[in-house]
Amino acid sequence: MSKPKQEVVSVPTGRLVGTTIMAIGCGTPDGEVNNGFAAATAFLREGAKVCLVDRDPNALEQATRVLAEAAAQAGANGAVTAGRGRLGGVDLDAQLTTVVADVGDEDSLAAAFAHCADRLGGPTVLHYNVGIVVNGGVDELETDGFRRALDINLTGAFSAIKHALPHMRAAGHGSIISVSSVGGMRYMGYDYPAYAASKAGLIELTKVVGAQYASEGIRANSIAPGLIETPLIHRSISGHYDSVEDMLAARHAQSPTGKMGRPEDVADLAVFLASNESAYINSTLIPVDGGLTHYAGMPKR
C-alpha cells in the first residue's frame, strides 16, 4: 500500500543572516506566489535583509501585505515555524524595504540601489527575476516586440549587474543570481523566439560575469526553471491551449516527474546560491526542471 505524500519541509537555519539582497522583479500583483516572491520570502526566512524591487507599486504593496500576514500568523502561533512560506522569527521592520524601479530606466535602477544601501546596507547578493513573454514566431513578431523582450529580460539584467558590482567590490564578495529559463536552452513548443533568445543571452551574460569577476570574490550563476506552476503561465501561454485545464494537464504530462514544479523549488536553489554553501559554484547554469532538459519522453509501448 502506497504511503501518502508528505510536504517537504525546509527548516530555516539562519544561513543568510548578515546578507543584504537586492531582489528585483519579486513583487506579487495578485498576492499569489510566483518565482520571485517565493525567493524573497525564503531569503527573509533565512535571516537576510531584502530590498524588494518591482516596477508595479501594487505588486510591492501586495507583497508587503502577504509577508506581514504570514509573519503575524507565525507570531500568533508562538515560535519559529518551519516550512516554506512561513515567517516565524522574521522582523520585517528590520529586514525588509521596498522600492519601485523599472529595469529599463537607468536612473530609477540607480536610485533603487541607493535606497537599498541607505536602508539595509550595500547589497552583496543580486537576485534578478525579471522576465516578460512576447509571443509570436519570427514571421509574425514585429521587430519592436523582439527588442522589447531583449531590453527587459537581458539589457535590464546587464544594468542591474552594473549597479550591483560596486557594492560587491566594496564588500570583497558577492553572488549574482539570474533567473533564466529552460526556454532559453531548448525549444519548448511555444512560439516565443524573443523570449528564448533573451533568456539564452541572460544565461551567457551571467556565466561571463562570473568568470570575469571571480578573482574579486564575486560569483554569478543562473537558474533555469522548467515547468513551474506560476501565475505567469496563466497570463502568458494559456492562449496556446483550448482551456486552462488543458494547459495544466499538458504541462504536468510533459514533466518527467508527472507534475510541474512549484515556485518554492526555485526559491530553495536561490537561497543556496545566495549562501556561502555555494562558495565554489560559479559561472554555471542549474536547471530546476525535474529532469526535463535531459528527457526525450518515454518510448511508446
Q: Specify burial of residue 256 (Cβ count, 10 A radius: 0-12, 13-18, 19+).
A: middle
pLDDT range class, residue 12, cuts 50, 70, 90: confident
Give dist(CA 242, CA 69) in Å, integer: 36
Percent of the chain topping pLDDT 90: 72
Give dist(CA 83, CA 11) in Å, integer: 6
Write 187-194 long-range contacts (CB < 8 A, 24+).
Answer: 190/135, 190/237, 190/240, 191/135, 191/136, 191/137, 191/140, 192/133, 192/134, 192/135, 192/136, 193/137, 193/138, 193/141, 193/146, 194/134, 194/136, 194/141, 194/145, 194/146, 194/148, 194/149, 194/150
- In this predicted structure, the answer to whether residue 5 has a pLDDT above a threshold of 50 is no
What mean pLDDT do residues 96-103 have? 98
pLDDT for 47-68, tens place per residue? 999 999 999 999 999 999 999 9
Amino acid at 240: H
> What was the pLDDT predicted at 234?
74
In a domain, 8, yes or no: no
In a domain, 154, yes or no: yes
Domain span at residue 168 reads 20-229+263-290
> What was the pLDDT predicted at 77?
54
- In this predicted structure, the answer to whether residue 79 has a pLDDT above a threshold of 70 is no
> What was the pLDDT predicted at 80?
42
What mean pLDDT do residues 279-284 have? 98
- In this predicted structure, the answer to whether residue 261 has a pLDDT above a threshold of 50 is yes
Count: domains in the chain: 1
> What was the pLDDT predicted at 294?
87
Q: What is the CATH number of the domain that holds 137?
A: 3.40.50.720
pLDDT for 156-195, tens place per residue? 999 999 999 999 999 999 999 999 999 999 988 889 999 9
Q: Structure pTM?
A: 0.89
Q: Tell me, what DSSP letter sits at residue 255?
A: S
In a domain, 240, yes or no: no
- In this predicted structure, the answer to whether residue 199 has a pLDDT above a threshold of 70 is yes
Nearest to 128 by CA among 175, 166, 85: 175
In a domain, 173, yes or no: yes
> What was the pLDDT predicted at 59?
96
In a domain, 241, yes or no: no
Which alpha helices (DSSP H) does 46-191 contain, by range? 57-77, 92-95, 106-120, 143-150, 156-171
Give dist(CA 279, CA 19) in Å, integer: 14
Catalytic residue, from 128, 192, 195, 213: name it.
195
In a domain, 4, yes or no: no
- β-partners of residue 74 are none
Catalytic (active site) residue 195: yes
> What was the pLDDT predicted at 86?
59
In a domain, 207, yes or no: yes
Give dist(CA 138, CA 89) in Å, integer: 50
- Reduce the DSSP state of residue 162 to 3 states and report it: helix
User: How far is CA 275 from each of CA 14, 39, 161, 280, rounded to the nearest angstrom?
Assistant: 10, 13, 18, 11
Q: Specify burial of residue 151 (Cβ count, 10 A radius: 0-12, 13-18, 19+).
A: middle
pLDDT top residue among 178 and 234 = 178
> What was the pLDDT predicted at 253?
86
- Reduce the DSSP state of residue 53 to 3 states and report it: strand
Q: What is the length of the chain?
A: 301
In a domain, 107, yes or no: yes
What mean pLDDT do residues 224-251 have? 80
> What was the pLDDT predicted at 271?
98
Nearest to 285 by CA among 192, 207, 213: 207
Amino acid at 277: E
